[in-house]
Amino acid sequence: MNATRTINLKNRPTGKPELKDFDFTTSEIPELKEGEVLLKSEYVSVDPYLRGRMSDAPSYIAPFEVGKAIESGIIAEVIESKDDNFSKGDHVSGALLWKETQVANAKGLMKVDPDKAPLSAYLGILGMTGLTAYLGLTEIGKPKEGETLLVSGAAGAVGSVVGQIGKILGLKVVGIAGTDEKVDLLKSKFSFDEGINYNTTENMREAIAKACPDGVDVYFDNVGGEISEAVLFNINKFSRTINCGAISQYNNTELPKSISVQPFLVKKSSSMQGFVVFDYADKHPAGVKQLTDWLNEGKLTYTETIREGFDNIPQAFLDLFEGKNKGKMVVKL
């Protein structure tokens, strides 16, 4: 095995990314040096935030380079090791390249145990999206028992965990998602009290008021845009909004016309705060422990949408913008 396939960013997308924005190349695998490991990719995470890295715009992570491999969270098996901390047969998690096989510096890789949880879970509930849900809600949302928590993007990887943690902490939890099937899932599997399908609801402002009769105390925002504008009409005094994501805006080609949030925030002494999970790296180990405990105690559950095959990674990524996933979207190689 001395050559590997790679998926590169071919063009910076304008608007919605398309398959033509990616290309596949084959290249030699370099010799392994001291401190490096040879890895075979097993599960590849596709995430909405990768869209931001495809544009040449400043953000909290550097943009991808055109003509170079895309990088995301990957679970891989160690095939060969020249690092004392890793042995052949270990499974690791890390920010790795979209390659079938790759040589990686061992620093920055973390061993994951397939006997403790299915490998794909380390990309979702026990990985970046689980930590985003837990730390975003607790650090920024500061939820209190009895309050009402509203979650957008509720049936996705982050949202489905946010809602469950809200229930563990004793909140009333309402979720917003894009299909009736997802709304059913929120209530049947993820313990949400109420769900709203934003695609079939004509007046979101009224629907939120109906589902949250005591108003919204904590809004965990994964989507931004019109849905979040409708939420503003329903926020309570001293409410908190966690600006975790804004997927409805990621493919914009022009600045949107939106309502002004300031009067809403002033009237309700309400706060909004952006959240980036990587800023809380010191809290990740304790966060993973808490998520693992809740999972083992049966208080948390999760759903994954697993696609198969290296060739299907770009399509799996594109499908996030069509709402084709329930829970975490991963690709199994």
Does residue 78 interact with ligand NDP by CB under 6 A? Answer: no
Nearer to ligand NDP, 179 or 191 (CB): 179
Nearer to ligand NDP, 117 or 247 (CB): 247
Per-residue tokens: 29: 């695998």
User: Binding string, 151-180, against ligand NDP, x = CB under 6 A?
Assistant: --x-xxxxx-----------------xxx-
DSSP structural state of residue 16: S
Short-list 4, 159, 161, CA closest to 76: 4
User: Binding string, 268-287, against ligand NDP, x = CB under 6 A?
Assistant: -------xxx----------
* Binding test (CB under 6 A) with ligand NDP, winner from 53, 91, 172, 182: 182
What's the min distance (Å) between Cβ of 302 and ligand NDP? 11
Nearer to ligand NDP, 86 or 219 (CB): 219
Instruction: Please give the sequence-ordered ranges of beta strands (E in DSSP) within the chain, or none if there are none.
Output: 3-9, 22-28, 36-45, 71-81, 91-97, 101-105, 110-112, 148-152, 172-177, 194-197, 216-221, 235-243, 271-274, 304-308, 328-332
Rule CB under 6 A: which of 235-254 touch ligand NDP? Answer: 244-248
Kindly calculate the radius of gyration of the chain based on its CA atoms and give it in whole angstroms: 20
Residue carrying structure tokens 């690709």: 331
Rule CB under 6 A: which of 37-56 touch ligand NDP? Answer: 47-49
Per the CB < 8 A criterion, the answer to whether 248 and 225 are in contact is yes
Would you give the distance in Å from CA 12 to the centre of its chain? 21
What's the min distance (Å) between Cβ of 160 and ligand NDP? 8
Per-residue tokens: 89: 């047969």
* Binding test (CB under 6 A) with ligand NDP, winner from 93, 129, 239, 290: 129
Binding site for ligand NDP (CB under 6 A): 47-49, 128-129, 132, 153, 155-159, 177-179, 182, 222-223, 244-248, 275-277, 320-321, 323, 325, 329
